[in-house]
Structure 1
Amino acid sequence: MIYETEMKHLARCVELASMAVDSGNPPFGSVLVDETGAVRYEGHNETAGGDETRHPEFEIARWAAANMTPDERAASTVYTSGEHCPMCAAAHGWVGLGRIVYASSSEQLSAWLDELHVAPPPVATLPINQVVPGVPTEGPFPTLADALRELHERYALADRNKT
């Protein structure tokens, strides 16, 4: 069950995704929240420089491994604008992070990219639990779908205009 506070974290993820687009990056944003409700880390995609591993969920895993105990990681929640890709899901699992709450699903992303005539990513868009079985997940949240689709459209248009 999702609570008002959790929707605020998801709304922040959408804001971070918008910031990503503003800086020339794909629209993904994520927030790491500990068991007390404190935001411990937040970020957005930073792949525009050429390093396609600079996803916010992957950065959260790296940060958490360096700054949190295994128990703190397990009790935390990662909120994210889009369901983790397989690389990020694996990183999440390897460092032992807890629950994942995502605003939009891999299935939605695939459909949006197809509608926008954008080539699919080089890595399959799989549900998190196909990569990391047993990690508790919640999502998607239809109330955020329109805003996220618009961000993907904005990014696709900006990316086409670069060439």
Structure 2
Amino acid sequence: MPISETDVRHLRRCVQFAAEALADGDEPFGSVLVDGAGDVLFEDRNRVKGGDQTRHPEFEIARWAAANMSLADRAAATVYTSGEHCPMCAAAHGWVGLGRIVYAASSAQLQGWLREWGVPPAPVAALPVTEIVPGARVDGPVDELAAEVRSLQRQRFARTR
């Protein structure tokens, strides 16, 4: 499905959440859950700085959706995110039956940037969402927003060096 102006608007919000996370000393990721009617239901950012590496916004969205939405409503929803889901978040997305995923930057892009900057690999492999959830409807990356995500990630790793 092509990326619409509405998609870009929601992705911009995700990038704003990522910037907010970075400003708070956290990893720069943000996500938004939108229902089938276009209403924003849940928004969050990464909250892993306290040591719980499962506090990704996409995982929080899956938990929230499972507790607050019917299966049909979950399937009709869209998850927008600054970066493509990690395997943990992709699995949670698939298990609760959420619908479309739209991301600003892909896992492959992030991994390329990290290699370029000499950052050691993460303890979990970066896989495309569709390798974890084969039937997932996924769109992205969005070049102009991927550049903003790259800048946020660069700032993150510049702080740790």
Q: TM-score range by the shorter chain?
A: over 0.9
Size of the aligned set, in residue pairs, is 160
SS in 2 for 1:80: strand
SS in 1 for 2:73: helix
The within-5 A match list for 1:58-137 is 58-137=59-138
- The aligned amino acid for 2:135 is G
- Stretches (4+) displaced over 6 A: none
The within-5 A match list for 1:7-18 is 7-18=8-19
**Does 2:31 align with 1:4?**
no
Deviation at 1:118, TM superposition (A): 1.5
- The aligned amino acid for 1:145 is A
Deviation at 1:24, TM superposition (A): 1.0
- Identity between Structure 1 and Structure 2 (%): 60
Deviation at 1:107, TM superposition (A): 0.5
Deviation at 1:42, TM superposition (A): 0.5
- Distance between the aligned counterparts of 1:39 and 1:67, measured in 2? 13
Deviation at 1:115, TM superposition (A): 1.5
- The aligned amino acid for 2:45 is H
Query: Residue 36 of structure 2 corresponds to which residue in structure 1?
Result: 35
SS in 2 for 1:145: helix
Deviation at 1:146, TM superposition (A): 1.5
- Distance between the aligned counterparts of 1:159 and 1:34, measured in 2? 37
Deviation at 1:54, TM superposition (A): 0.3
Deviation at 1:159, TM superposition (A): 2.8
Unaligned stretches of 5+ residues in structure 1: none
Query: Residue 159 of structure 1 corresponds to which residue in structure 2?
Result: 160
SS in 2 for 1:11: helix
Deviation at 1:120, TM superposition (A): 1.5
Deviation at 1:121, TM superposition (A): 1.3
Unaligned stretches of 5+ residues in structure 2: none
